Amino acid sequence: MNKPISETQKKDIAHALHPYTNLAAHEEQGPLVISRGEGVYVWDDQDNRYLEGLGGLWCVSLGFSEPRLAQAAADQFAALPYSHTFAHRSTEPVIALSEKLMEVAPKPMTKAFFLSSGSEAIDAMIRFTWYYNNGRGLPKKKKIISRKRGYHGVTVAGGSLTAIPLMQNDFDLPLDRMIHTDTAGYYRYSETGETEEAFATRLADNLEQLILKEGPDTVAAFVAEPVMGAGGVMTPPATYFEKIQAVLRKYDVLMVADEVICGFGRTGNMWGSETYGIQPDMVTCAKQLSSGYLPISALMISDKIYDVLKSQSKKHGALGMGYTYGGHPVSCAVALETLKIYEERNILGHVRSVAPHFQGRLAEFGASPIVGEARGVGLIGALELVMDKSTRDQYPPEAKAGAQVAAAALAKGLIVRALPGDVIGICPPLIITKAQIDELFDLLALAVSETENLLMKAA
C-alpha cells in the first residue's frame, strides 16, 4: 500500500519537472525528499537514514558533510562570489586549480578549460575537435565515434554520443556526424568460447572497418569512458584499449577519455586512463572534481590541440566560445580544496586498501540465481540480473527486475541505481570504510534475495 503523499511532495509534483523519471508514475508516488547528509549517509524529510550507495550521481567522493569544502565555499563567497575568465580575465582560484589539476592530470595534458558539467565538457570537446581540424586544413574530418551504451551527457551534441535508447528516443538524436561502435561489455556481447583478448581484437577490427566505411578523412575523434558507467558499469576486456588506440593512431583519430565518473581515484588510480593504459589527446572530468559539492567540470587538452587552438584564435581574433559560469571562483575554490584533501588524506591509498574487500563482497553475488555477472574495479561495481544464467537471457522489460532490486534496497535503507539492461550500479563515496562496505552489501543481499523470490514466484 502506498504511503500518503505529504504536502511537500504535493508541491514537488505540482511544480518540479524531474529528469530520468517516469512523470506519470511520479504524480502518483511523489519524490523521495532528501534533507541532510553525514559521511556516507543521507536522511529524508521523515528522518529515515540511507547509506548512499551511488554517491549521489557517482560524484560525492568525500561524503555529505565535509566541513573543509563548506568553509572553502564560504571563504570564497566572502572574498569574491563571481568573476569570469573571458577576455584575459582570471581569478586566483582558477589559476590555482588549473595548476593543481595539471599536476595530477593524465599525460600529456597541459591546459584546463573549466565548465559547469560533464555534458558541457563533452560539448566543448566536440567544438574543439571541429575547430582543431579546420585549423589543420581538414574540413571534412568531423565525425565523432562513441560506443553503444556509452554515456557522454545530455546536450544535443553530447546526447547524440550517449548511445542509450532511452536518452535518444523521440529526442531526434543522434545528430549527423555522431556515429556508434560496439559496446565493450564482455559478459553481454562476447561470442561463445571467445576470450577477452579475442573479443577485444574483434571490436578493434570492427572499429577499423567503421572508420574505413565512413572514410578516414571524415573521422575526427573516438570518445570512451574507461569504465562505462551509466550504461551498465562495464569494465573493458583485456587488451581492449591497447588495440583500439592502435587503430586510432593509424587513421589520425583523436582519443578522448571521458573521465567524468572514473576520475579522481574511483578505479584505484587517479584516472581510469592509468588503470587501462589510455593515452588521451583530451580528457573530460567533473563529478568528483568537487566531490559533487558545486557544479564544475574541466576539459583538459594537450599541447598538440592547444597549439592549433592558439593559431585559430589568432586568425579569428579570439577563441569564440565560453560559458558564464565556466571557472566560477567559488566552484574552483571548492574543487581546489577537494584535490588538497585527496592528497593530504591519501584518499587514493584508502581506496586501494578497501577496494579488495569491496570487490570480494561484490563477487559473492555471483552465487545468486538471478545475478548473471557481478563486475567492477576499485570502488565501482554492478550486478547484471538475468532470467537464465546458462543462456544469459534477460528478464522481459515488464518484469522491471532491476527496478525491483533498487526499490527493495531503498526500503531497507540503501540507495543504489537500476541502470538500463537490469544492471544495479554501485558507487559509494570514496571515504567508505570496510564496516560500511559490509553494511552496504548486507543490505543489498537482502534486496536481491527478496527480489529473487518475487521473480521466481511470478515465473
Is residue 422 classed as helix, strand or coil in its secondary structure?
coil
pLDDT number for residue 443: 98
Using CA atoms, how far residue 226 sits from 185, 279, 456, in Å, is: 12, 11, 35
Residue 140 CB partners (closer than 8 Å, separation 6+)? 215, 217, 218
What pLDDT digit, counting tens, does each position of 385-407 carry? 999 999 999 999 999 999 999 99
pLDDT number for residue 4: 86
CA 419 to chain centroid, in Å, comes to: 12
pLDDT band for position 1 (cuts 50, 70, 90): very low
Pairing label, strands 109-115, 297-302: antiparallel
Q: What percent of the chain clears pLDDT 90, i.e. is strictly above it?
A: 98
Q: Is 155 exposed, middle or buried (0-12, 13-18, 19+ CB in 10 A)?
A: middle
**CA-CA distance, 329 to 233, in Å (whole number)?**
33
One-letter amino acid at 112 equals: A
Domains and CATH numbers, the chain: 32-65+346-458 (3.90.1150.10), 68-344 (3.40.640.10)
Average confidence score pLDDT of the chain = 97
**CA-CA distance, 405 to 422, in Å (whole number)?**
9
What pLDDT digit, counting tens, does each position of 279-326 carry? 999 999 999 999 999 999 999 999 999 999 999 999 999 999 999 999
pLDDT number for residue 459: 67
What pLDDT digit, counting tens, does each position of 314-365 carry? 999 999 999 999 999 999 999 999 999 999 999 999 999 999 999 999 999 9
Residues 52 and 430 sit within 8 Å (Cβ to Cβ): no
Average pLDDT over residues 69-97: 98
pLDDT band for position 2 (cuts 50, 70, 90): low
**CA-CA distance, 241 to 442, in Å (whole number)?**
35
Residue 386 CB partners (closer than 8 Å, separation 6+)? 370, 371, 372, 392, 393, 394, 395, 422
**pTM confidence score:** 0.96
Residues 201 and 240 sit within 8 Å (Cβ to Cβ): no
**CA-CA distance, 280 to 214, in Å (whole number)?**
22
